[in-house]
């Protein structure tokens, strides 16, 4: 079961799908030549079978953008990495748009989220769907994504802590936070 995290006025919260009272304790590991308390990455690249099919985003409650634009409106659209987000310019009043992250190392969805927020002034819920891990959440939120369907292997409590990984920001982005250099006194 996937967990859905949303950003609210009071900060991030688990919206649905969280297992009841699941706690995992991190145990320090002794790593030769490194710190024993160092975080271990949560992503391990899995081999892709040769007969693998393209993901059906309908399982996640979304219709691929090209099919949505062609008239299949039974579910909200999802913007795939190869889609042009500007094709949604006439549909910025939609309450929800999905942004696909088919692989952990594919950041095109973050660029599409910024385009939807800054250039198209999209004000609805932008949901990250697919290979969404704790390591990316802070940066996805900076790009304007407002809800996150975590991978099933991610700890929801740890994911909530991801939004406080950094105390300040140095880059401009779509989340409305002004970068540090713009807040300095002249």
Beginning with the edge strand found earlier in the chain, give each strand of the sheet holding 96-101 in spatial order: 11-16, 4-8, 147-149, 125-130, 96-101, 77-79, 63-64
Q: How many CB atoms lie within 10 A of CB 14?
A: 16
The whole-angstrom separation of Cα 112 and Cα 107 is 9
The answer to the question of residue 158 being in a domain is yes
User: What was the pLDDT predicted at 32?
Assistant: 47
The whole-angstrom separation of Cα 131 and Cα 159 is 14
The answer to the question of residue 24 being in a domain is no
The answer to the question of residue 13 being in a domain is no
pLDDT in tens, 28-76: 444 444 444 444 444 555 666 666 667 788 888 999 999 999 999 999 9
The whole-angstrom separation of Cα 28 and Cα 130 is 29
pLDDT in tens, 80-126: 999 999 999 999 999 999 999 998 888 899 999 999 999 999 999 99
The answer to the question of residue 1 being in a domain is no
Which residue range(s) make up the domain with 163?
55-183
Answering whether pTM is above 0.85, one says no
Is pLDDT above 70 for 180? Answer: yes
User: Domain containing 71 — which CATH number?
Assistant: 3.40.50
The answer to the question of residue 10 being in a domain is no
The answer to the question of residue 43 being in a domain is no
Total number of domains constituting the chain: 1
């Amino acid at each position: 079961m996937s967990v859905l995290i949303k950003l609210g006025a009071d900060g991030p919260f688990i919206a649905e799908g969280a297992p009841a009272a699941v706690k995992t304790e991190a145990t320090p590991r002794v790593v030769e030549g490194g710190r024993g308390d160092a975080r271990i990455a949560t992503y391990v690249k899995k081999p892709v079978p040769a007969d693998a099919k393209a993901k059906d985003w309908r399982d996640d409650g979304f219709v691929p953008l090209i099919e949505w634009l062609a008239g299949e409106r039974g579910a909200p659209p999802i913007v795939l990495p190869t889609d042009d987000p500007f094709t949604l310019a006439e549909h910025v009043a939609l309450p929800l748009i999905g942004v696909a992250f088919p692989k952990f190392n594919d950041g095109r969805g973050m660029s599409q989220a910024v385009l939807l927020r800054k250039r198209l002034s999209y004000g609805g819920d932008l949901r990250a769907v697919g290979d969404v891990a704790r390591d990316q959440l802070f940066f996805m939120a900076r790009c304007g994504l407002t809800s996150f369907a975590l991978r099933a292997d991610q700890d929801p409590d740890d994911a909530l802590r991801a939004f406080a990984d950094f105390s300040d920001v140095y880059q401009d982005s779509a989340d409305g936070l002004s970068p540090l250099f713009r807040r300095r006194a002249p």
